[in-house]
A = this chain, B = another copy of it.
């Protein structure tokens, strides 16, 4: 069993209204040091395999096909831990 983390973030230059709203709200709450916020997605996946290399390739495929929108988003995959089979 492999546990993987996937971070999906907007590409630089892509407008992020959600991040802007969070930034404004934090500023309004008194957190004036917040100069910018970018919002993204964080996914934890449990994979029923022990082959880390194959899992990495499959995760790339998942990100390209479903988990991210390659036109406007980047993704990062981390294989966090490997538990006993």
Query: A interface vs B, CB < 8 Å?
Result: 1, 7-9, 19, 22, 25-26, 29, 31-49, 55, 58, 61-62, 65-67
Contact = CB atoms under 8 A, between A and B. Distances in A.
A21 to B, nearest CB: 11
What's the number of copies of this chain in the assembled complex? 2
Given A22-B43, A33-B47, 19 more contacts: A7-B42, A22-B66, A25-B66, A26-B66, A29-B65, A29-B66, A33-B58, A34-B47, A34-B48, A34-B62, A35-B48, A36-B46, A37-B45, A37-B46, A38-B43, A39-B43, A40-B43, A40-B44, A41-B41
Contact of A67 (B22, B42, B62): B22
A49 B33 CA distance: 7
